[in-house]
Amino acid sequence: RVERMDADYYTQPVLADECRIVAERLTADCLGGRRSFGDVTVRWQTVAFRKFKFHTMELIGQTALDLPAQQVNTTGCWLQPPPGAIEATNAALAAAAASPTPSPGNGITSPGVATPSPDARAIPSLGINATPSPGATLFDAFSGVRNLLAVALPTLAMCDRYDIGGVVDASQLGVMTIILYDRYEGGVGYARHGYECAADLLKLAYDIVAGCDCDNGCPGCVGPPNLRVAIHHDPDLGRGYKIPDKAATMCLLKGWLAVSPG
């Protein structure tokens, strides 16, 4: 039953989704890592809604929902970087966590704040913040690459960015994996194109983030595109997603592509 009422709040859905690999059709090496293509199942469900005050955006409540899950059986490609790229990224993250926090600006320090030495900078040629943030994680790096691939693939597959979904998953194959999938029942070939041109896709992702002038990451490079199923997308929700660490993302991509520092 729907009733008209005057309210001082608005609602946003709380979503749960997953992408499960069903069957592998093709697999091959890719830049020292692995690329695969096959059947995947994407499930999503609205599990609750939150109430926010107008103007103040204050969260004033959350109500659980009992709605059926929806499912799409489609095709996807999944990519795994070489172990060396993951090791190099973990080393850079560990060094960043152990280093003093750099101050804002081009080497200008604030009282009581030390600046890391040039030797501690894990990723040259990235501007001010060439070292991953102390709180950055390996998941940040994978999420940044996932976001870049979801933007780059439509350029190569000649589709809309809303035709592609993507997740980072470590529960199915024993290693952290980036899965890109078609948002249509049965698949329409976009993910297959991603599998076929995986090396070019990764290079394009690198070019996008390397060509961005921001320091820490922004919606123009590693920031999240709309990765949820289109009918559940709420433009307001996108502003709440964390932007992954740019330097960590670059470190993983450089190791994956074996890009020499410069």
Give how far Cα 240 sits from Cα of 67, 177, 199, 215, Å: 24, 24, 31, 20
- Write down the pLDDT at residue 28: 96
> Cα torsion at 102, 103, 104, 105 (round to 10°)?
-90
Residue 170 identity = A
Token pair of 58 as six digits: 């204050």
Spatial neighbors of 129 by CB under 8 A, at least 6 apart, are 102, 215, 216, 246, 247
Q: How many residues does the chain have?
A: 262
- Please report which helix (H) or strand (E) contains residue 155, including its range: helix 138-157
**pLDDT tens string for the chain (262 positions)?**
788 888 899 888 888 888 999 999 999 999 999 999 999 999 988 899 999 999 888 989 999 999 999 999 999 999 999 999 999 999 999 988 887 655 343 333 333 333 333 333 344 443 334 688 888 999 999 999 999 999 999 999 999 888 999 999 999 999 999 999 999 999 999 999 999 999 999 999 999 999 998 888 888 899 876 555 444 444 444 444 578 999 999 999 999 998 544 4
In 96-110, which positions are buried (b, 16+ CB within 10 angstroms) versus exposed (e)? beebeebeeeeeeee
Q: What is the pTM of this model?
A: 0.78
- pLDDT at res. 259: 57
pLDDT of residue 1: 79
Containing 38, the helix (H) or strand (E) segment is strand 33-53
